[in-house]
Structure 1
Amino acid sequence: MARYRGPKAKISRKFGEPIEGQSKALQKKNYPPGQHGRGRRKKQSEYAIQLAEKQKAKYIYGVLERQFAKMFNIASRKQGITGENLLQLLEARLDNTVYRMGISPTRRGARQLVSHKHILVNGELVNIPSYSLKPGDIVSVRERSKSLEAISSSLAGQPSNRYSWIEWDNTSLSGKFVSIPVREDIPENIKEQLIVELYSK
């Protein structure tokens, strides 16, 4: 399964946000990585700003280039606002939903849980992180995986039902993907219009 395997702290420092989770490096070095990180940088072009926004979205959701381009293509053919459609497709991914439900503290960890066959969708085993959920789908932890320390420690102290489009039952370790989220409910700091402008060139 293709995924980014490089240094996480560098990505966070590049965008000035804890994209791959909280990092001490981001607090100690609040400037971009590289030998010119502290130096004055020339004004970025419009293309550079748009490209950086696309890269940020890719890193946040853990999607590589071809997959991201394919999702944008699907989003552009759907009715509605293309940028919002793109974020909704990313939010409906199984690995992202597992993360949103609190089963894993990171999307990277959620992707591993899915690919290692710890997650069920509507009672069926699904090990494809990019699997797209539909409203009404039930996501649950496999019975023999419920005792996993990684899952129990992630769920401990997590507020239930943090997101309006997801329902979670801590007793049965299962949740429901209630609906496709609207843009206002998606907390990620992404300027999706810049991504649309980039692909429209």
Structure 2
Amino acid sequence: MGRYLGSSCKHCRREGMKLMLKGARCETGKCAVERRERHMAPGMHGWRRGRGSDYGVRLREKQKLKRYYGMQDKQFMRYFREAERLKGNTGVNLLQLLECRLDNVVYKLNFAPSRKAARQIVSHGHIYVNGRRVNIPDFAVTVGDKITVKNSDRSRKTIKDQLATNPNYTTQQWLQLNADKPEATMVSMPTRDDIQLVVEEQLVVEFCSR
């Protein structure tokens, strides 16, 4: 699967909002969205920003969601097809499936400064789920799953150092964290209010259903 190797900040500028692709850096003055070009999309024609067509509006919502969680189109559509098969609102189902990815859970536990860093931590085998090592970033975490850190000094130091950088970080209610060990348990499914990205999921459903 192809990888995007360009600047992450271009994605935020294109969507006109912070996608938190660089973690804590996005909260500083170095963030491109905070600087003067915040109203400009990347490229020489970036100043041409408007509402656009109905197709364009729906495309932007889909791209925003896809880039927020860091995936390619084929993988994103696989999640959408799965969300369609589930009972309930397809848009909310899609958001819940994406939110329960292991790399996102690791990020939401403050085990990593960004989702990109969380994917690397998972891929390098630092994270265990229910006592088994999982090195697949899109592994689906379910209610009752226990997330622990590899029993090695290096792995534990990496996670504890990250937790120490933001001691006032508040873990969302659907995750229960024990920072001393460190380990966590997923106690419930995330609700729509827990998903912090400002996105119109119904427009994403309309785009992917066309």
TM-score, length-scaled by structure 1: 0.93
Q: What is the one-letter code of the residue matched to 1:24? A: C
Q: 1:78 aligns with which of 76, 86, 90?
A: 86
Residue 15 of structure 2 corresponds to 15
Residue 132 of structure 1 corresponds to 140
Q: Percent identity?
A: 41
Q: What is the one-letter code of the residue matched to 2:157? A: S
| Number of residue pairs aligned between Structure 1 and Structure 2 | 198
| 2:34 aligned counterpart, secondary structure | helix
| 2:147 is equivalent to residue 147 of structure 1 | no
CA separation in 1, counterparts of 2:128 and 2:105? Answer: 12
TM-score, length-scaled by structure 2: 0.89
Runs of 4+ residues over 6 Å off in structure 1? none
Q: Which runs of 5+ in 2 are unaligned?
A: none
Offset at 1:2?
A: 4.8
1:94/1:190 Cα in 2 relative to 1: closer, same or farther (>3 Å)? same
1:167/1:2 Cα in 2 relative to 1: closer, same or farther (>3 Å)? farther
Q: What is the one-letter code of the residue matched to 2:8? A: K
Offset at 1:186?
A: 1.4
- The question of whether the paired residues in 2 share the 8 Å contact of 1:15 and 1:56 is answered with yes
Q: Which runs of 5+ in 1 are unaligned?
A: none
| 2:34 is equivalent to residue 27 of structure 1 | yes
Map 1:32-181; keep pairs closer than 5 Å. Answer: 32-38=41-47, 40-41=48-49, 43-144=51-152, 145-148=155-158, 151-156=159-164, 157-159=166-168, 161-181=170-190
1:160/1:7 Cα in 2 relative to 1: closer, same or farther (>3 Å)? closer
Offset at 1:187?
A: 1.3
CA separation in 2, counterparts of 1:130 and 1:18? Answer: 22
Offset at 1:25?
A: 2.1
| 1:44 aligned counterpart, secondary structure | coil
CA separation in 2, counterparts of 1:132 and 1:41? Answer: 37
1:42/1:16 Cα in 2 relative to 1: closer, same or farther (>3 Å)? closer
For the aligned residue pairs, the C-alpha RMSD in angstroms reads: 1.5
1:196/1:124 Cα in 2 relative to 1: closer, same or farther (>3 Å)? same
| 2:198 aligned counterpart, secondary structure | coil
- The question of whether the paired residues in 1 share the 8 Å contact of 2:41 and 2:49 is answered with no
- The question of whether the paired residues in 1 share the 8 Å contact of 2:126 and 2:150 is answered with yes
CA separation in 2, counterparts of 1:43 and 1:186? Answer: 25
Residue 198 of structure 1 corresponds to 207
Offset at 1:153?
A: 3.1
1:110-133, CA deviations, whole angstroms, 9 ceiling, x for partnerless residues?
Answer: 000000000000111000001001
1:160/1:170 Cα in 2 relative to 1: closer, same or farther (>3 Å)? farther
CA separation in 2, counterparts of 1:152 and 1:68? Answer: 32
Between stretches 160-169 and 109-118, larger displacement belongs to 160-169
Between stretches 159-168 and 119-128, larger displacement belongs to 159-168
Offset at 1:56?
A: 0.7
Q: What is the one-letter code of the residue matched to 2:91? A: G
Q: What is the one-letter code of the residue matched to 1:178? A: V
CA separation in 1, counterparts of 2:76 and 2:99? Answer: 13
